[in-house]
Chains A and B, each alone.
Chain A
Amino acid sequence: MRTLSRRTLLQSGLASAVVLGGHIPGFLRRALADERLSPSIHDSIVVAIQLAGGNDGLNTVVPYENDIYQRSRPTLALKKKDVIPLQQGVGIPARMKGVFDGLEQGSFAVIHAVGYSNPSGDHDRAMEIWQTAQPDNPHPETGWLGRAADHLVPSPKAGASPIPAASPSVFISEIATPLTVIGRASVCVKAADPASLTLDASFGFPAIGEGTSKFPSAACESLVSDAIAASLRTAERVAEASREDKPGNVSYPSTLFARRLEWLARLIRAELGTRIFCTEMGGSGPGSFDTHSLQANNHGELLGEFSDALAAFLADLARDRILERVIVYTYSEFGRTVRENGRRGTDHGSAAPIFLAGGGLRQSVVGEHPDLREMENGGVKHTVDFRQIYATILERRLGIPSQQVLSASFEPLPILV
C-alpha cells in the first residue's frame, strides 16, 4: 500500500474537504503552498542510463564563447550557430532540442563538472567506479544501485517471507548486466527485449493455487504459490501496458536506444513495484561515446539520438503524471580532453556534466561551467563528487540512508524536491 504523500492527499480530495471546513492546519498549508509535489520515497523510481565510452561533456554542455574551448578544438568546437543558449556563453547542441525543451519545462537538469579525485582513464576501471561508487576498492563486487536494491528485498528476520513482493531492479539491454545493479542479495532481472518479460502462453497459464502438496509444513510451497499468483498479475499488467493500440501512445524514434526506453516506460507504467531500472546506450566494449576520431559528426548524431529518445520517454511518462515519481540520471565513465587530438577526436578526460530528468527537480542547471584553465588529466576538473548525486537520489528518492550504500558520508545536493 502506498504511503500517504502530498500527492495522494491532494488527489483524494481530503485537502479540499479540510479547506472547505474552514480550518487549514499549518502543515497542510505549507504542503499545499509547494506547487511542486515531491515524490514519495516509498514509490519513486530511479532510471539509470549508462552512456558507454566516455561522453564528451564539453560538446554536450558547450562553452561556445570560451576562448580556450575554441582554440583547443579547431575542428570540433561548436559555434554559436550550432547551439541553443542555456546560460551566459553556455549552450547545448541544437541537435539536442528535446533536452533543451525539457530544461525549459523543468523536467531536465544538468549538473556541471561531475567526477571524483584521481580519476581513472581506463574504460573498464572508470566505468566500474561510476557503477560501484567505490574508487578505493580494487575488487568491487556490487554496484551502488545493487546495494540499494539489497535494501529493497526482504531482510532476514523472523516471520518475513524470503520472496520479494516486487522485482527490485530491471536492466533493459542485450549486453551483460552492468555492475551498477548487481547486489549481494537482490537479483536484477535482465530483459533484452519485451518478449522475455511476456509470459509464454504456448502451454496455457499456470493456475493459481494448484500444484501444491498437502504437506503440513509446506510453508515454502505456500509462499511460492503466492509468488506465482503475484507474477501472473504482473504479467497481466505488463501485457496491458504493452498494448500497441492504447490511445495517446507516444511515438518514439526508431533507434535501438529509443526502443529500450519505450519498453522501459511500459514497465514503469505497469506499476510493477520495481523501483530501480537501468538501461544503456553505447553498447559494451569501448562504447559508442569513445570518440577518438572524427568526433564531430558521430558525437552529434549520438547526442541527437539520446535527446530524441529521452524526450519521447519523458513525454510518455508525463501523461498519466507518472513522470513526477521518476528520476532519470545518466552516467559515463569519464569526460574527454579539452584539447582535440590529431584525428579530429578527443581522448579520455575526467569530469563531465550529467543529466537528471524527471519530477521534482529544483533547478535546471546546477553549478557553474568548469574553468578550462584548471584541468585534470587533460579534462575539466570536477566540482561535484558523483557520489553526492548518488546520495541525493538514495535519500530523496529511494529513502535509503546513503551511508549504508556508499560506505561513506556524502552530502546530498539540494537539487531534488
Chain B
Amino acid sequence: MRVGAAAGSLLRVAICAAAVVGGCLIGGTERLSAAESPAESAAELCKWIPAEAVAAVMVSHPADLLRKLDETPAIRELESGLRLAELLERNQELRQLRAAVSLLEGQLQSDWKTILGDMTAGGLVLAVLPDNQVVVIVEARDAEVLRKVNDFVLNLARLDPGNAGKREAVREAEYRGVRGWALSPEESHAVIDRRLVLCNSAELLRRIIDQAQDGGEGLAGSAQFKAAVASLPASDIGVFVDFRLFRDLPQVQEGLRQARSPLSVLFLAGLTEALGGADWLALGLAYEDESVRCALRSGGDTALCKDFGFAMPASPGEGVLPNLDVPGRIMALTMYRDLRDFYARKNELFPERTSGLIFFENMMGIFFSGRNFTDEVLTELDPHVRIVVARQQFTPETGVPEVQIPALAVVFRMRNPQRFGPIVEEGWQKALGLINFVRGQDAQPGLILDRMEYQGVKYTVSYFSTVDEDLSQPLPMRFNFRPVVIAQGEDLILASSEGLGKSIMDAIRASADSDRPLPDVSALLETDLAAVAQVIEDNREALIRQNMLAKGREREEAVKEWEHLKRAVELFGKSVVKVGVHDGRPALDAKVSVKLSTLEQFLPAE
C-alpha cells in the first residue's frame, strides 16, 4: 500500500475504525451523557440522512470510547507489549499506515488518539441506502481540526507517487456553496461546518448537501426509526435496520421456514417469527468492564407472535427460574415453556409430520403406556424448564472415553410429584429396556440398571459394564453415558451422567431459598466458553482427525486449526442471553465478556 494511498484511506480507516472497533469494545463508564440512547445524541446527524436509508449505525460519543480503550489495562498491555510493536514493523501495510499517522501527528502537533477524538467528538453515523450507497457523517469538536486533517489528506493524495501523471489526483467541485473533493470514483467527501460527510458516490454527496441545506427530518423523522431507537436501553452504539426490505428476500424466507422444526420452535419460541413480521430491527451495544452488552428489539405486526403464548409468562411477575450452577458448567438454559400448550398447538407450529416426530410419539406412547402425551403427560409439568450442559471429568480408574462428550441434563418441575414421579420412573425404565433390546439385536452391549441413593433420594442409574474393556486404552463413546432419572421433591432431573445429576441435586438444594422466578423473562441462557475451551482440549485428537477428514488437511494443518479454534473460544468468557417480552414481541438482551488480553494472538503476521 503506497504512503499516499495509505494516507488517502486514513480518513476512511479512522472513521470506520471508530464504528467497527467501537462496535466490539467501547467504553461507557465515563460517558458525557451516560443515560442517553445513541439517537438522542445523533439525532441531529440523522436528520441529514435520507429517509430511505435501510440501515444506520450511530455512535454517540466516540471520544469516550477512545478514552475508555486507553484506560483499559488489557489494551495498555497490548499496546506496550513488545510483540505488538514487532508485528507493526513486520507487516508492510501497518508500517505504511503508521508512517502516515506519524506524519499527521507531526502536522497537527498532537497524538492520533486526540486527533481522532476531536474529529468525532459530536458523534458519528454510518448509513446504508439502497443500491449500495453508503454515507458517513461525523461531527467534530470544531471545524478547524476537520479542515487541517482534510488538507493533510488532500496534500498526501496529490503528492502520492502513484498518482503521478494523473490529470487530477484530487477532483474538486462546488455545489450549493459547499466544496467537495473526490480521491477516487468511489469516494467523495465534503466539510460542512463541524461536520465531515463521506460518501461512496458524488451523487449521494449532493443529496446530503441538499438535505442539509433544505432542512427536514430525514431518517430521524421516520416512524420506524423513532420507534426503534426509543425501544433501546442506554447504549453506546445503536444500529437501526429497516427490515421491510429484507424480510421478503427468498433467502430470508427460506431461513425462517427452515426454523419450523419442533425443537427450533420450542427453543426460539417466536424469535424467528418476530423477525418474519418485523418492520424494523434495533440493536444497541454497550461496553462495560470488558463485556459487551447488546439489546435486540423488533417492531411490526405482533399478530404472528400470538401462536407463541406458550413461551410468554402467563402473569406479571412470572418468569424463569434462575439457572443451576454446577461444577464444570458450560451452558445453562432456563426457559418458561408451557409444554402442554406448546404441543397442543403442533398443527400450527410445526405442521409437517416428519419421521422423527412420529417416532418420538410412538416412543412416548410406549413409555407412558398409552397416555395422551399432551393432556396426560405434558400437562403434569409446570412451565419451568431448565437445561444444563457440563464438562465431564473422567479418571484413569474409571476409564476415559476416546471422545469426551459433555453431560446434558433437563430439569422439569412436576405439578404432582407423588402421582407423576412413578409414571416417569416406569417410562424411563421402559426406555432403557428398549435401548437394551435394540442394542442386543445388534450384538451390542447394553445398560445395567441400578437403584442408588443420594442425600436421601433414591434414583435409577444405568451404565455400561467395563468388564470387557481395557481401562488403560481410550474407551468407546458409550462410556460417556450413565443416564439417570431423579425425582427430588417437585424437581424431575433427567441427566446423561450420574455425576451431573447429583450436582444438580446439590445445586437445587443450595438455591432452594433463593429460587424465585425472574419476572417477565421467557428464557435465560448462560454460557462459559472457558469450559468449552477445556472440552476442546479434552478432545484434541478427535477434533484434529475430524478436521483432517472433513477438510482434507494434513495433520500439521489440522493441529494449527485446532489451536486457532481453542484460542478463538478462549477469547470469550461468560455470556448471558436473556429473552423477554417487549411490546408483545420477544426482545433479546445479551452480555458477552471478551478477554482483550488474548487479542494479541489474532494480530496478523507477515
Contact = CB atoms under 8 A, between A and B. Distances in A.
Direct contact of A and B (CB under 8 A): yes
A286 B370 contact: no
Interface in A142-182: none
A288 B365 contact: no
Interface string A112-134: 00000000000000000000000
Contacts of B369: 342-343
Nearest to A284: B355
A291 B355 contact: no
Contacts of A289: 358
B193 interface: no
B366 A343 contact: yes
Interface of A is mostly: loop
Nearest to A303: B353
A226 B229 CA distance: 63
Contact of B362 (A254, A255, A283, A292): A292
A251 interface: no
A298 B363 CA distance: 14
Contacts of A53: 355, 358
B362 A290 contact: yes
B2 interface: no
B366 A293 contact: yes
Contact of B358 (A255, A290, A342): A290
B272 to A, nearest CB: 15
Contact of B355 (A282, A293, A341): A282
Interface in A254-292: 254-256, 282-292
A52 B355 contact: yes
Interface in B347-388: 347, 351-359, 361-366, 369-370, 372-373
B351 A345 contact: no
Contact of A344 (B347, B351, B356, B370): B370
Interface residues on chain A, size class: 20 to 34
Contacts of B366: 292-293, 343
A217 interface: no
B414 to A, nearest CB: 22
B351 A294 contact: no
Give the residue among B351, B359, B372, B373 with the most A Cβ atoms within 10 A. Answer: B359
B373 to A, nearest CB: 6
A345 B362 contact: yes
B347 A297 contact: yes
B355 A255 contact: no
Nearest to B362: A292
Contacts of A256: 352
B549 to A, nearest CB: 20
B352 A255 contact: yes
B207 interface: no
A286 B358 contact: yes
B353 A305 contact: yes
A302 interface: yes
B509 interface: no
Contacts of B352: 255-256, 305
Contacts of A371: none
A101 interface: no
B359 A255 contact: no
Contact of A286 (B257, B347, B362, B365): B362
A104 interface: no
A243 to B, nearest CB: 14
Given A254-B257, A301-B347, A343 B365 contact: yes
Interface string A287-319: 111111110011001100100000000000000
A283 B357 CA distance: 11
Contacts of B257: 254
Contacts of A344: 365, 370, 372
B370 A291 contact: no
B9 to A, nearest CB: 31
A345 B370 CA distance: 9
A52 B359 CA distance: 12
B355 A298 contact: no
Interface in A328-349: 341-345
B364 A298 contact: no
Nearest to A301: B353
Contacts of A298: 353, 357-358, 361
Contacts of A297: 347
Nearest to A299: B353
Nearest to A342: B370
A297 B361 CA distance: 11
Nearest to A259: B257
A297 B350 CA distance: 13
A295 to B, nearest CB: 9
Contacts of B355: 52-53, 282-288, 290
Contact of B354 (A288, A341, A342): A288
Contacts of B351: 255, 301, 305
Contacts of A294: 361, 365, 372-373
Interface of A: 52-53, 254-256, 282-294, 297-298, 301-302, 305, 341-345
Given A293-B365, A345-B365, 5 more contacts: A255-B352, A256-B352, A286-B355, A298-B358, A344-B372
19 contacts: A52-B355, A53-B358, A283-B356, A285-B355, A285-B359, A286-B355, A288-B355, A288-B357, A290-B358, A292-B362, A293-B362, A293-B366, A298-B361, A305-B351, A305-B352, A305-B353, A343-B362, A343-B369, A344-B370
Question: Which 7 residue pairs spanning A and B have beta carbons closest together?
Answer: A293-B365, A343-B365, A283-B355, A343-B370, A292-B362, A342-B370, A288-B355
